[in-house]
Chain A
């Protein structure tokens, strides 16, 4: 079956612009996670969805970051007023509720803020 997909694969934007990053999880996976990976670092947790609701958004760095999952499947990570420090690879993962430790990752979106 299809794995986790993310679009776009690359996004270049200018400082101050708004961007949306999309994640399409594995069909049937109710848990969805967003992570951010800066250059030379490991991924860092941003937000966790269980179904449609954000169960844990403690990793979002500030209120410019927001994520939604309105129908419990596709999720969109939204970043307002982008800053150069937002440049990173944004990774999405999904899992079943019963096996939350087995997270399957998408290929990521590389965001570059000029």
Chain B
């Protein structure tokens, strides 16, 4: 079963614009991670945010976590065509190791 739900399911933006996607989850977590997947194949790890953190940055990526609302957001600034991909959030429960993924957000960046 999927722990997380991403919103929106699909997003189309112009190159240079920002892309924001959200993830909601159901149970308490140890950490939350975001992954990118191109062409339905290998997953690339983008960023990990722990349950005691509220915000994290990595390059053009900004992730927030609100454990009281059980939600996270991923912001990609100044998007590029190469950012076209599916983005997944995945949670890891306390004392757990399994990644529980949402269904993903498909992002299309138009040149």
Name the residue on A nearest B102 (C-beta): A42
Q: Is the CB of A101 within 8 A of B101?
A: no
> Which residues of the other chain, B, contact A35 by a CB distance below 8 angstroms?
99, 101
| Contact-size category for B | 20 to 34
Number of A positions contacting B (CB below 8 A): 27
CA distance A12 to B41 in the complex (A): 16
CA distance A100 to B98 in the complex (A): 9
Q: Is the CB of B42 within 8 A of A42?
A: no
Query: Which A residues contact B (CB, under 8 angstroms)?
Result: 31, 33, 35, 37, 39-45, 48, 56, 59, 89, 91, 93, 100-108, 110
Question: Which 9 A-B residue pairings sit nearest by Cβ, starting from the closest?
Answer: A42-B101, A107-B42, A105-B43, A100-B97, A45-B98, A42-B88, A43-B101, A108-B41, A107-B41
